[in-house]
Amino acid sequence: MRLGRIASPDGVAFVSVEGEQGAETVREIAEHPFGTPTFTGRSWQLADVRVLAPILASKVICIGKNYAAHAAEMGSTPPEQPVIFIKPNTSIIGPEVPIVRPPSSERVDYEGELAVVIGRPCKDVKASQAKDVILGYTVANDVTARDQQAIDGQWTRAKGYDTFCPLGPWISTDVDVADVELRTELDGVVKQRSRTSLMLHDVGAIIEWISGVMTLLPGDVILTGTPDGIGPMTSGQRVSVTVEGIGTLSNPVVDK
């Protein structure tokens, strides 16, 4: 199942996305998408609605340096244990919403990532049981003010600006993400290409580590790290992140 969130003439709603690419329809879900969703009976053509970020998270937890090649390009060694940080939920935007470069930064980078969406409250989850707490997977861009990351020595400001967490286009609940391609394109040119099998810490290990620190709630989003090939974006460009089996998240870039 593909779960999304849309704005229609009747308001904002969670939906199930059905049909082949280019001819999708969306069916409105009553209340929320957790558990077994029920439907209102209303539906629209996907082309007639606006696709929003598929979830409003209470928190976005991110994994740093989770691909060895990315750690190397950042001039560091791969960490033995997951490195976690948090982006505020106010940084979340959906597909086609502009990423806004703040005037205080001279370099704003793309970081294409696989994202995990949590499906139920959980704490101290074993890696072997991680699938039981996952709603599904979506595509993310961990946008970063790279110059500020270097200056600050910690990452909150550099990762936390409004619009710095594009998510979408929807949540896929039945995809196996153990070994899928992740690709980032800037104006149609491939900048990042890797596979999730190259993550240093897989999804199960990540959930075990994070849930050992904090309670995870339904809708919380975990960004699993970016591969090598990060680089800057400038106003007027377009960045697109594709995760095999899920879809493509595309956003234009503008200056504030």
pLDDT tens, N- to C-terminus, the chain (256 residues)? 999 999 998 899 999 999 988 899 999 999 999 999 999 999 999 999 999 999 999 999 999 999 999 999 988 888 999 999 999 999 999 999 999 999 999 999 999 999 999 999 999 999 999 999 999 999 999 999 999 999 998 999 999 999 999 999 999 999 999 999 999 999 999 999 999 999 999 999 999 999 999 999 999 999 999 999 999 999 999 999 999 999 999 999 999 9
Helices (H) and strands (E) in the chain — how many of each?
Answer: 4, 20
pLDDT at res. 22:
84
Judged on CB neighbours under 10 Å (0-12, 13-18, 19+), 9 is exposed
The 3-state secondary structure of 45-61, one letter per residue: EHHHCEECCCCCCCCEE
- Indicate the domain borders of the chain: 2-52, 60-255
- Sign of dihedral through CA atoms 76, 149, 67, 61? positive
Mark out the alpha helices in 58-202 (DSSP H runs). Answer: 68-73, 146-152, 156-160
- Per the rule left: phi > 0, alpha: psi between -120 and 50, beta: everything else, 96 is left
State the CATH class of domain 60-255.
Answer: alpha beta
Q: Are the C-beta atoms of residues 62 and 85 closer than 8 Å to each other?
A: yes
Side-chain-side CA neighbours of 221 within 13 Å: the count stands at 33
| Separation between Cα atoms, residue 14 and residue 7, nearest integer Å | 9
**Per-residue pLDDT reduced to its tens digit, 117-131:** 999 999 999 999 999
Which residue from 193, 224, 194, 230 is spatially nearest to 207, judged by alpha carbons? 224
Domain 2-52 has CATH 2.30.30.370: yes
Q: Is 194 within 8 Å of 177 (Cβ atoms)?
A: no
Dihedral angle sign, alpha carbons of residues 108, 71, 207, 197: positive
Residue 9 pLDDT? 87
What are the strands of the beta sheet with 108-110, ordered from one edge? Answer: 144-145, 108-110, 231-233
The whole-number pLDDT of residue 251 equals 98
Q: Locate 197 and state its tokens.
A: 């099998």
What's the predicted TM-score (pTM) here?
A: 0.97
The candidate with the shortest Cα–Cα distance to 180, out of 103, 106, 246, 83, is 246
pLDDT given for residue 136 in this prediction? 98
- How many CB atoms lie under 10 A from the CB of residue 40? 13
